[in-house]
Structure 1
Amino acid sequence: MDWSKLQTSLGGLNLSQAGTKLTKGFSSSVQATRERLGQIAPEEITELPQEYKDLEARVDALKAAHLALLKITKVYETETYDYPVHLQESITELSTSIGYNITSFAATNLKGTSLPTPASPSAPPVHPHKTLPHALSRASHAAAQALVDPEAGPVDGGDKLGKALALYATSWDRIASARLDQDDTINLNFLGPWQQTLHTSISLAIKARQAVRVSRLELDAAKQSLKTANPARQEQARLEVENAEDDLVQKTEVAITLMKTVLENPEPIKNINELVKAQLVYFSTAAEALSAVQGEIEELSVAAEGDYRKSRDH
């Protein structure tokens, strides 16, 4: 063994500094435990500035506000949030997808063997969008087609209803596209920045507060040590208290600055504006699409009502 290298490596370690950190950490843990158990008088716990405590409460409220809205708006990350029967259709699609994959695998890997080779599937199965607007569009198109006889044309009484359903389906085609655009915009311009604020500036301010708490515990632990220090260690204990006081002041100032920065940040309001804009475009498009066909559907309704009354008069 090369003892000279080992000695050099050990010499590079600041054992004194490491020991000091361990001692401080242990003292802080003991101090926190004693405070929690009520073994430290309230007047012996260092009081933090009122400004700091007020900012703490405001940052906590800001974080709670972010989390409350995020909990709901995260649904925009999942296309199926308003889809009524996605579970049943997912099972069907899974079966279709598995069948396609097996056929594709067999068609590729059985070539040149004595085993029968299935024909290669022309294209992978299409997975329709799973949103309520898309579901309404597909259902309306299917209903309109069901009222048409391939050979004789519209079934009895189905002409006007079929036209109404076709118009309704057309409006939901447009709404469905707008729904996808809305979700993409919300994810990009709201959810991303909103979570970024939560995970960066707010988290940074909270970490600074945690540093203040640790520093305060170290100071109060140092004060307790000073009270019980023997005469030979009085001066050292007093210096430790002074250093801890300086550290607490510095960390408190940093935390106050960071908390003020978080609270003054205009980004969350800008994010909310982007959320509102995306929703406004979607609902406006939906209103326009439905308004565009409602008049025609109402005319069909009036005409159907008139035909019905005439048939009853004879």
Structure 2
Amino acid sequence: MDKLPSLPAFGNIGKAWTSSVQPFATRSQQFLKEQLGQAEEKTQLPADYLELEKRVDALKQAHQNMLQVTSQYANEAYDYPPNLRESVLDLSRTIQEKVALLAAANTPSEAQAALTKPGPKPAPKTLHHALGRAALSSAHLLEPSDPLATALEKYAIASEQVGEARLAQDQRIVSHFNAAFNTSLNTNIQFAQKARKNVENARLTLDAAKSKAKGGQGIGFNFPGTQARRDPIHHDDEQSEEQRVEVETAEDEFVGCTEEAVGVMKNVLDTPEPLRNLADLVQAQLEYHRRAAEIYEDLAPLIEQLQVEQEVS
């Protein structure tokens, strides 16, 4: 007959509880005592450590502030007019495609088909693309020989080119700046936060051990207006060898966690990565505005020439 699996010994269960649950309970009760103003003492962290914490918090907030705005670059239509109602036909093809098809059209029906026939994918919804579509649509409401029609068509093409440059900028910002800042926020800075949490846990454990050794109160606490509970086995003037070892062990753990957190926070603060990321953001914006300036510099003389020719005709 098969034997039933043996249950774990009560001693092992007790050890598992002591090694996992009890430390958490000790820290939690020490935290409650501090919140209720019943802690006899609270180990103070060094001023240099507290200054590092402030700087890491500031760095975290700086990342969050920037990402709150730059996350909009992932939204193609962030500058698209909110009240604009473009039809499916308006968005059926890019401006360049429509202009090319219109140029090849020999009859009014072919021209109409060029404006309405859908393309392989919808045109982007950005302010510049919308300006271009409006300009092209307006141009073909006028007579082909009208200088304004010619100017509007040229403006439509230029607007679409600027819109494409904007989309290229957005993609670079999303893939370089946003991705890097999110990585820093969710890894490096989060790692520093975890190290700080370890320090806080170690401090609570240390102060709980000190309180137990000094006052004989164990890990208990009392609510305001009630008398503090005391362990009748211990006395204020006695400190067992076990309690002394517990305090020394907690002190070593606290010092070790603090030193580790200092190193982690310094590494987070000293890395030049955020500056590299900001340089990527600026470069993406620079290239976009430079490209836009080039497009408009080429367009402006053409529009001016059409204006002059109309004035002298």
Instruction: Please give the per-residue CA displacement for 1:71-92, whole angstroms capped at 9, x wherever unaligned.
Output: 0000011111111148855xx6
1:78 aligns with 2:84: no
The answer as to whether partners of 2:147 and 2:306 remain within 8 angstroms in 1 is yes
Please give the alpha-carbon distance, in whole angstroms, between the structure 2 residues aligned to 1:49 and 1:3.
Answer: 59
Instruction: Please give the per-residue CA displacement for 1:168-189, whole angstroms capped at 9, x wherever unaligned.
Output: 1121121121112111111111
- Which stretch shows the higher mean deviation, 224-233 or 125-134? 224-233
The equivalent position to 1:224 in structure 2, one of 202, 211, 216, is 211
Shift of 1:233: 6.7
- Structure 2 matches for 1:142-291, cutoff 5 A? 142-148=137-143, 153-154=144-145, 159-229=146-216, 230=234, 234-291=240-297
2:200 match: secondary structure = helix
> Quick one: which amino acid aligns to residue 46 of structure 1?
T
Shift of 1:145: 1.2
Instruction: Please give the per-residue CA displacement for 1:138-180, whole angstroms capped at 9, x wherever unaligned.
Output: 11111111113xxxx44xxxx1211221121121121121112
Shift of 1:51: 1.8
The answer as to whether partners of 1:77 and 1:183 remain within 8 angstroms in 2 is yes
Please give the alpha-carbon distance, in whole angstroms, between the structure 2 residues aligned to 1:2 and 1:221.
Answer: 49
Unpaired runs of at least 5, structure 2 = 92-116, 217-233
The answer as to whether partners of 2:129 and 2:163 remain within 8 angstroms in 1 is yes
1:48 match: secondary structure = coil
When the two structures are aligned, how many residues end up with a matched partner?
Answer: 268
Instruction: Please give the per-residue CA displacement for 1:21-51, whole angstroms capped at 9, x wherever unaligned.
Output: 322211211211221222235xx11011222
Shift of 1:303: 3.9
1:199 match: secondary structure = helix
Structure 1 residue aligned with 2:17: 18
Structure 2 residue aligned with 1:127: 122
1:6 match: secondary structure = coil
Please give the alpha-carbon distance, in whole angstroms, between the structure 2 residues aligned to 1:56 and 1:87.
Answer: 48
CA change 1:290–1:87 in 2 (3 A) is closer
Percent of aligned positions that are identical: 40
- Which stretch shows the higher mean deviation, 161-170 or 272-281? 161-170
Shift of 1:296: 1.8
Structure 2 residue aligned with 1:311: none
Please give the alpha-carbon distance, in whole angstroms, between the structure 2 residues aligned to 1:280 and 1:6.
Answer: 72
Shift of 1:195: 0.6
Q: Larger helix proportion, structure 1 or 2?
A: 1
The two structures have a TM-score, normalised by structure 2, of 0.78
Please give the alpha-carbon distance, in whole angstroms, between the structure 2 residues aligned to 1:234 and 1:298.
Answer: 95
The answer as to whether partners of 1:175 and 1:289 remain within 8 angstroms in 2 is yes
CA change 1:296–1:179 in 2 (3 A) is same
1:79 match: secondary structure = coil
Shift of 1:192: 0.8
Please give the alpha-carbon distance, in whole angstroms, between the structure 1 residues aligned to 2:208 and 2:311.
Answer: 87
Instruction: Please give the per-residue CA displacement for 1:221-269, whole angstroms capped at 9, x wherever unaligned.
Output: 1111112331687221121111110000011111111101101111111
Please give the alpha-carbon distance, in whole angstroms, between the structure 2 residues aligned to 1:63 and 1:36.
Answer: 26
1:138 aligns with 2:133: yes
Shift of 1:199: 0.4
Structure 1 residue aligned with 2:111: none
The answer as to whether partners of 1:219 and 1:245 remain within 8 angstroms in 2 is yes
> Quick one: which amino acid aligns to residue 53 of structure 1?
L
CA change 1:12–1:181 in 2 (3 A) is farther
CA change 1:266–1:14 in 2 (3 A) is farther
The answer as to whether partners of 1:80 and 1:86 remain within 8 angstroms in 2 is no
The answer as to whether partners of 1:205 and 1:258 remain within 8 angstroms in 2 is yes
Shift of 1:15: 3.3
